[in-house]
Structures are given as C-alpha cells and as structure tokens.
Structure 1
Amino acid sequence: MEALETQDCWRLLRSVTVGRLAVWVDDHPDIFPVNYKVDHGTLVFRTAEGTKLQAATGDTPVAVEADGVDPDTGVAWSVVIKGQAAPVRNPDELLDTVGLLLFPWQSGKKEHFVRITPDTITGRRFKVVPPLTWWTPLDDATRSGLE
C-alpha cells in the first residue's frame, strides 16, 4: 500500500465524477452517491431539497470517498476528503459553479449547489490481489469441515 501525496489525491479525484458522501443524519451515519466536480481545492455537487442537503450543510463535518481501479495494471486507489459542506449562495460564486457543467444523473429539480471545503485529504494506492490469495480464519474451518 502506498500513501498518496495531496496533489495525487486531487488528480485522482478529477479523474472520476462519482463518490460517496458520508453524513450524520439524526442519530446515525448515512451515505449517498454524489456526482461532483473538483473546483479550486474543493468539491461541488448538486442536490435537491431533502435529507442529503440538510445533513450535508448542517454543523457536522462530512466525508467524501472516491475510488478507482486500472483494469490493465490491477492498481486501485481510494481518496477520502473530510471537511465542512456549505450551500453555495453568493451570486458570483453560484454563476462560477454553474459553469462547472455539473449534471446530475437523475432528472428532477436539483437547484442546490453544495461546496465541500476539506480539512483533510488522504489517499492510498495498492495492487489488487487475486481472490485465491485471500485468507481468513474461516478458510481453515471450512476446509476442516469438508475433510
């Protein structure tokens, strides 16, 4: 496993457009898929009114995780940003954000833009190993039961 430098994390985040947004809702964590764009050291996504918007823009920090794998090399990566999310309200900033061409996957009214400003960004890269090389304590138990 290789820990990634910050600039590598941002480059990888730019290479995909979908991640998972982790938020705190009432008394439990929740995760939502979001399509996003990187914008000047932040992530921006669009959403409609609802649980995701309320939870993301509350007082509790959020996290976004994105990942990918190169099928030719078998090298995978994962990047996590943690920080505060806030609605984009400033008219000039809103116009700039609209220019990101951030199109939701689902139809419907998604007029809220949310910007996540990270406090931390971490990433790692690793080689995916073939499933036959995985080992768990259950492997021996299963084998013993069949012999």
Structure 2
Amino acid sequence: MARPPHAARGDIGRRVAARRLQLGLSREDVALRAGAAPGYIAYVEEQSATPGISFLLRLADALETTVHELTGGTVDLPGGLGRAAREARMVELGDTECWTLLGDHGVGRVALTHDDGPVVLPVNYQVLDGEVMFSTGDRSPLARAADTEIAFETDHIDDAFSKGWSVLLVGTVRVVEDEDEARRLRETAYSTPWAGEGRERVMILAPRRVTGRRIIVADAPGEPG
C-alpha cells in the first residue's frame, strides 16, 4: 500500500491522504469520484489548500466521509456518538478483508492483564507478513506481557452514517530479543511511536485468531442501495 506523502502540510490534506489510503484509492480514483483533476487532489494533499465548500462536499462524498471529518471537527469527540441507523445489519469479515482493513500501519488498542487487572493501551502498529509489531518501553505493561496472550483491536466509526468496522486479533506477543533485528524493524517502521522516545522494546503479536465485523447501512455513501 502506498504511504501518505511526507510533503503534506495542511490538516485537510493529511486527512484526505489518510482517508484515501484507508479506502485503497489512488488520487486518480478520488479525482474521478469528485469530478476533479488528479493534480488538484495532489495539491490538496500536499499543500495548505483551502478548498471551497462545494468541492469539499464532493470530496467528502468521494471519500465516503463527511466535511466535518475532513476539516477536523470530530478530532476531540469520542467515537460512537451517532444513533443506530434503520435497517442496519452486521456482517462477519473474512481474514483477507480483516488484514486489508488493518492496512500496513495505524493506531489500535491492546488489551492485556496487568498486576492491577485488565488494561487497554493505545499503540502504533505495523503489519509484517501476518503479524503485528509494536514498540514500547522496557517497563510498560505491554513489555511485561511478553509470552502471554493478548488482544489487539482497531476500528473505524462513521458517526454521521452510523456505520463502521472493527478487527480483533488474539494471540501470543513476544519480544524481539535479537538487537540487530529489533533495530532493523524500528528503522523500517512507518513512524516512531506517537507517545515519544524511549520505546525501544520491539514486540510481535502472532495472532491465532483474526475476526472482524462491519455494520452496513444500505443508504449510506459507499454502500449498495
């Protein structure tokens, strides 16, 4: 999967690029959907562009999202504020679609048992040949969970249209003990952990179970009628 352009400077551009890649679309695909030139999509993603509302509406529809999402209006809101849609249905996802939705990197949550009980932690992750890599601190609850079974979950929720999906992985997490291999994995990772420096412990989750679910709303953008 292609990665977001590192030259992206505007907040809208970063959100457009991230959503486009999440959907697996090229700039040409988005341009065709939005009735624009591919060069303008590139401009929006890479420069501090301020598109007009009419184009933003077409762009949001092309990306199966909302203007509110693209402009950052939901950044500080918890997911799941929308009401359930009429005639919504839930479908189970196969392994292939689960891995496609995971992409090659992103942010998810790990659930594990700590000294004080269950803990859920947000993590940056990287997908590596059917396994998931995390970087964490030596004393973190995740590092202490080495060689135990944990759960990893990531999802996307569209409040505006009351739909979304979630993917759950369950399996044993291990520490990459070989320092050369750990350094190589850190250097090839898409990004450093959002939480900052000092997270040099590389851990790999080998899932024994991969499951996913999607809520489908027939009249929402991107869904069949």
Identity of aligned residues (%): 35
How far did 1:92 drift? 5.3
1:125 to 206, 210, 214: 214
Point out where structure 2 has 5 or more consecutive residues left out of the alignment.
1-89, 218-225
TM-score (norm: length of structure 2):
0.51
Matches within 5 A, 1:88-107: 88-91=176-179, 93-98=181-186, 99-107=188-196
1:23-71 residue CA offsets vs partner (Å, 9 max, x unmatched) = 11125111100010111101101111223234331x4300001001356
Match of 2:155 among 63, 67, 75: 67
Listed as ranges, the gaps of 5+ residues in structure 1 are: 129-147
Q: Which is further off, 2-11 or 105-114? A: 105-114
CA distance in 1, matches of 2:114, 2:170: 16
Displacement of 1:74: 4.6
Alpha carbons of structure 1 residues 14 and 56: separation in structure 2 relative to 1, 3 Å:
farther
TM-score by length of 1: 0.76
Which one of 1, 19, 40 corresponds to residue 129 of structure 2? Answer: 40
Q: Deviation string for 1:111-139 (max 9, x for gaps)?
A: 111100001000000036xxxxxxxxxxx
Alignment of 1:1-147 (within 5 A): 1-14=90-103, 17-26=106-115, 28-57=117-146, 59-70=147-158, 74-91=162-179, 93-98=181-186, 99-127=188-216
CA spacing shift, 1:47–1:7, aligned 2, 3 Å = same
Q: Provide the aligned length of Structure 1 versus Structure 2.
A: 128
RMSD of equivalent CA atoms: 2.4
Are the counterparts in 2 of residues 87 and 113 from structure 1 also a CA contact under 8 Å? yes
CA distance in 1, matches of 2:174, 2:148: 11
Note if contact 1:87-1:115 (Cα within 8 Å) is conserved in structure 2: yes
Question: Structure 1's 94 and 2: CA in aligned 2 closer, same or farther, altered over 3 A?
Answer: same
Where is the strand percentage greater, Structure 1 or Structure 2? 1
